[in-house]
Amino acid sequence: MFPEHRPRRLRRTETIRRMVRETHVRVDDLIYPLFVKEGSSIHEPIESMPGQFRHSPDRVAPLAKQISSLGIPAVLLFGIPGKKDASATSAHARDGVVQQAVRRIKDAAPDLAVITDVCLCEYTDHGHCGILDDAGQVSNDDTLEVLAKTALSHAKAGADIVAPSDMMDGRVGIIREELDENGFEQTAILSYAVKYASTFYGPFREAAGSAPSFGDRKGYQMDPANVREALREAAHDVEEGADMLMVKPALPYLDVIRLIADEFDEPLAAYQVSGEYAMIKAACERGWLNEDACILESVTSIRRAGADLIITYFAPRLAELLS
Ligand code: PBG
């Protein structure tokens, strides 16, 4: 009751605000996504994601070293292969683009944790995240086998953590089994447990050349309207052996992040996706918003909602802002 309650007292100076601040973003919380493209000497700008590039494995290694020296603990790798086919063969090739990149990065920056995205959409000629059956539907169980092989090939190349993003049922269990049977029981699984069929992936699909050539991903990714389903998805993945969980996208789904953080003890990552990045970039390029302030506020909000880790294309800038 006024005048007894004057909350403004604790907002009066930056020092006092700093003392009562409830949420902190640390460089340790950041994961930087990188696009690796088959070839050499490639450093190609991504049009819908200003400031982000496709790099060939030889170019990504020195960059990874730089990322590591900023204090960022991990990168998340996406591959853009030279060849695509119906069965995503290059996803699990020993010399596939991600496998090459992992080896190079581990050589150049051994302390950097390498996470690999495990999905087939970048490797199939039709752009879906799995193998199609005769009716043109993504066949869940046929896809599992290829995902398991892909995850194993990443682990063999030296990946610390594999991150299945395909949304097939049962993939965490199959991947865990495949890794364990082959002596990779120390390779962790970060599951894209709660991944929505979001329109905010648009720029990513341009970056990775992974847009489906027909239909959409609503038959495997989650309906944006659902939240109880998120609890079931996360529970299944934990049961199957996920070490960490993810909610994706981040900013439009803060309620989901909060729910999963409250219900599960596993470390929780949130993915500030390409469309979230592009929106901020576009508005700031026009001078309508302040970029650094947007970066800090959006990421702070994602942390406040309950995410432990944030996957963000702003990671390098954030590392500078936080230091
Ligand atoms: C799928 C995958 C996607 C993203 C990460 N993994 C795209 C999709 O599901 O269509 C999107 C990430 C982003 O938008 O930044 N392999």
What are the tens digits of pLDDT across the range 256-276? 999 999 999 999 999 999 999
pLDDT at site 4? 87
- 211 in helix, strand or coil? coil
Give dist(CA 116, CA 30) in Å, integer. 15
pLDDT at site 3? 80
Cβ(272)–Cβ(250) below 8 Å = yes
Please compute the mean of the pLDDT values over residues 171-188 and round it to a whole number.
98
If phi > 0 it is left, if psi is from -120 to 50 it is alpha, else beta; for residue 241 that is left
Helix 254-263 vs helix 228-240: crossing angle, to nearest 10: 50
Residue 38 has pLDDT above 80, yes or no: yes
Q: Is residue 274 in contact with ligand 1, taking CB distance under 6 Å?
A: yes
pLDDT at site 129? 95
Cβ(146)–Cβ(199) below 8 Å = no
Q: Is 37 a catalytic residue?
A: no
Q: Is residue 201 in contact with ligand 1, taking CB distance under 6 Å?
A: yes
Return the DSSP state at 195. Answer: E
Choosing from 34, 166, 204, 311 the residue with most ligand 1 atoms within 8 A of its CB, the one to mutate for a pocket test is 204
pLDDT confidence band for 233 (50 / 70 / 90): very high
Q: Is 248 a catalytic residue?
A: yes
Give dist(CA 194, CA 206) in Å, integer. 22
pLDDT confidence band for 106 (50 / 70 / 90): very high
Nearest residue CA, atom 12 of ligand 1?
A: 273
190 strand-pairing partners:
244
Q: If you measure from the C-alpha of residue 197 to the centroid of ligand 1, how many angstroms do you get, rounded to a whole number?
A: 10
pLDDT confidence band for 216 (50 / 70 / 90): very high
The neighbour count for residue 300, using CB atoms within 10 Å, is 16
Q: Report CA dihedral (268, 270, 271, 272) to the nearest 10 degrees.
A: -160
Give dist(CA 129, CA 136) in Å, integer. 12
Cβ(122)–Cβ(78) below 8 Å = yes
Q: Is residue 198 in contact with ligand 1, taking CB distance under 6 Å?
A: no
Question: To the nearest whole percent, how much of the chain has pLDDT over 90?
Answer: 99
Tokens of 195: 């991944």
Q: Is residue 236 in contact with ligand 1, taking CB distance under 6 Å?
A: no
Give dist(CA 321, CA 295) in Å, integer. 9
pLDDT at site 249? 98
**For residue 259, how many C-alpha atoms fall within 13 Å in the half-sphere facing its CB?**
17
pLDDT at site 2? 76
Residue 1 has pLDDT above 80, yes or no: no
